[in-house]
Structure 1
Amino acid sequence: RRAQGGGGESKPARSPKGSPAAKLRRLERELADLERQIAERRDSITAQFDAVLGILERWGHVDGWALTDAGERTVRIYHELDLLVAEAIGRGLFDDLSVADTAGLASLFVYEHRSKEEPPEPWYSSSGVADRAAQIIRMAGELNREERRAHLTMSREPDPTMFAVVHAWAAGLDLVDVLDDELLTGGDFVRTAKQLIDLLRQIGDAAPSPDTRHQARAAADAVARGVVVSTAEDLDEALEHDQLRQETDAEPDERGSA
């Protein structure tokens, strides 16, 4: 039909907004958007998988689609820093250590300093243990650089802040003697210690050396004592008892110096 008052043809009428045809076009657009998002996400996941696989190949944990001995160790570690833990085991960094040193070194993987205050300078029981901790931190730096190049989320860096506390606790000291309230609370210590126990037991299963496996399990047992395996009420009572004991022990010295 020609438009009234003119010689040209009229434009086809648009479908009403709520008509079935309009709804169909809207659904088609939404479907196209969803398909595009799915394709982009699939490509992103594939790229991430390829990037992770590339790192595992370069670090000697996979060969093609097969796990190497190092890779077999890695899959036995259930931890956010599983690759670093497996590397530390494979490089012998947990070999020939005392129970307390084993626990202290493993604490680098479980503790994360989150306070706004700067952490204290790390303390180590010997220069040899300090060198092993430095190797772990260097490994983490190498991994972070590879992750950055591959556009992957970077792994958390190991934190040596808790070494002294964990070492003293595993050596048998009382909680009041090892706990620094400015560093962490008793509850924080217990939570960290329980994570440490779990990791030490995994090291005790994954390490190739029988002696290292034994020391890691012994370290887990050394940490799993007292308030660490008690309830929250027991923790409060133990802290109060230790504080009173410490004050009582200090009284003779104070009288003697008066």
Structure 2
Amino acid sequence: PARSVVIESLTKFDGEGHSTLTPGQFTQLTGRAGRRGIDKEGNALVCWSPFVPFKDVVGLATSQEFVLRSAFRPTYNMVANLVVTRTRAEAELLLSRSFGQFQMDRRTGGKRSLVRALEARLGVLEARGFADGWRLEPRGRPLVRVFNEADLLVVESLASGLLEGLGSADLAAVASCLTFRRRGPGRSEPPARKGEINRRILGIIELAEDLVAEERRHGVPSAEPPDPGFSMAVRRWAAGDDLSEVLTDEWSGGEFVRNIRLVADLLGQLAEVGPTSVARSARRAVGALERGVVTVGGAFDGSLPDTE
């Protein structure tokens, strides 16, 4: 959030041509203006363009088609970053003044609290040995730099050694169960116990089940369970197979590229926070994934060191 937001252009490329932002997109951009508890108001500035009439700008600014709703909720990564950058009192004040808490108060009459949600997640971290009060234990420090819907499960998998001792293609396959989410009804079948990749994925699934039980005890909603459905595809791609050999009727080309990028992004994070063997394999895996139709871009810049 900032006091003022500047929108350089009200058009964006949609893959085929340039189109004007929708009221929802405009509201999402301008909704960042104004820091709750600091600014009395926020400003949104739209740069002039000869291609967008002023009446269109007015129409977007006054539209009632889209109501801004905060999706802000504490994550384990957020809790870890608050612990290392704020005092407990500062963190609680920050959450209590958030736009998310403001809307939650209006909906529930103050019956729900983001501070309580933070405390619940902190309780899970303490129970799992990642925190001691308002302090991160050494095994919990990687959480600060892991940005994933299953952030705690990723760090649990690291701490348990389930990601160590794997080649680059195998590590990509195992990591994919932490990023892949099958669209539509149904879930992927659990892998057989034969093979090292399958054994590691089953280990992560068992960890996830333990974590879900702990979260239930603390009233914390759980992330989607690990899904092994993309593991063999990403392994074959990392091993150098052609797209025609890897692509199946299960997903479109766009879905394949998107899921490869998600795996590569997580591997880039593991290269930063993992032990030497994991970091080395993760770097090589990202290099193997970034080819052909897949352009991972900023997921890995090749500058990560080889040592811890």
TM-score normalised per structure 1: 0.69
Which residue does the alignment assign to 1:160?
A: 228
CA distance in 2 between partners of 1:58 and 1:119 (Å): 30
Partner amino acid for 1:136? I
CA distance in 2 between partners of 1:121 and 1:141 (Å): 13
SS at structure 2 position matched to 1:162: helix
CA separation of 1:171 and 1:87: change in aligned 2, threshold 3 A: same
Given that residues 169 and 235 in structure 2 are in contact (C-alpha distance below 8 angstroms), is that contact kept between their aligned partners in structure 1?
yes
Q: CA deviation at 1:50?
A: 1.7
Q: CA deviation at 1:205?
A: 0.6
For residues 139-197 of structure 1, the C-alpha deviation after alignment (integer angstroms, 9 at most, x for no partner) is: 1111122222322222111100001100100000001101112x111100001111111
CA separation of 1:88 and 1:140: change in aligned 2, threshold 3 A: same
CA separation of 1:141 and 1:40: change in aligned 2, threshold 3 A: farther
CA distance in 2 between partners of 1:167 and 1:54 (Å): 36
For the pair 1:88 / 2:157, whether they are aligned, the reply is yes
CA distance in 2 between partners of 1:123 and 1:98 (Å): 20
For the pair 1:105 / 2:174, whether they are aligned, the reply is yes
For residues 174-229 of structure 1, the C-alpha deviation after alignment (integer angstroms, 9 at most, x for no partner) is: 01101112x11110000111111111010011012x12211011001111111011
SS at structure 2 position matched to 1:110: coil
For the pair 1:142 / 2:210, whether they are aligned, the reply is yes
**Runs (5+) with no aligned partner, structure 1:** 1-33, 231-258
Which residue does the alignment assign to 2:200?
A: 132
RMSD: 2.5
CA separation of 1:99 and 1:146: change in aligned 2, threshold 3 A: same
Give the total of aligned pairs: 194
SS at structure 2 position matched to 1:88: helix
Partner amino acid for 1:116? P
Relative contact order (C-alpha < 8 Å, sep 6+): which is higher?
Answer: 1
CA distance in 2 between partners of 1:60 and 1:146 (Å): 12
**Runs (5+) with no aligned partner, structure 2:** 1-101, 297-308
Which residue does the alignment assign to 2:138?
A: 69
TM-score normalised per structure 2: 0.58
For the pair 1:49 / 2:118, whether they are aligned, the reply is yes
Which residue does the alignment assign to 1:191?
A: 258
SS at structure 2 position matched to 1:193: helix
Q: Percent identity?
A: 36
Partner amino acid for 1:53? L
CA distance in 2 between partners of 1:229 and 1:117 (Å): 30
Q: CA deviation at 1:117?
A: 6.0
Given candidates 274, 281, 284, the residue that maps to 1:207 is 274
Partner amino acid for 2:267? L
CA distance in 2 between partners of 1:41 and 1:152 (Å): 18
CA separation of 1:119 and 1:52: change in aligned 2, threshold 3 A: closer
Given that residues 123 and 164 in structure 1 are in contact (C-alpha distance below 8 angstroms), is that contact kept between their aligned partners in structure 2?
no
Given candidates 288, 292, 298, the residue that maps to 1:222 is 288
CA distance in 1 between partners of 2:146 and 2:153 (Å): 10
CA distance in 2 between partners of 1:121 and 1:74 (Å): 27
Given that residues 191 and 198 in structure 2 are in contact (C-alpha distance below 8 angstroms), is that contact kept between their aligned partners in structure 1?
no
Q: CA deviation at 1:121?
A: 6.1
Q: CA deviation at 1:37?
A: 4.1
CA separation of 1:152 and 1:41: change in aligned 2, threshold 3 A: farther
Q: CA deviation at 1:122?
A: 4.0
Partner amino acid for 1:49? L
CA distance in 1 between partners of 2:172 and 2:192 (Å): 14
Which residue does the alignment assign to 1:16?
A: none
Given that residues 123 and 163 in structure 1 are in contact (C-alpha distance below 8 angstroms), is that contact kept between their aligned partners in structure 2?
no
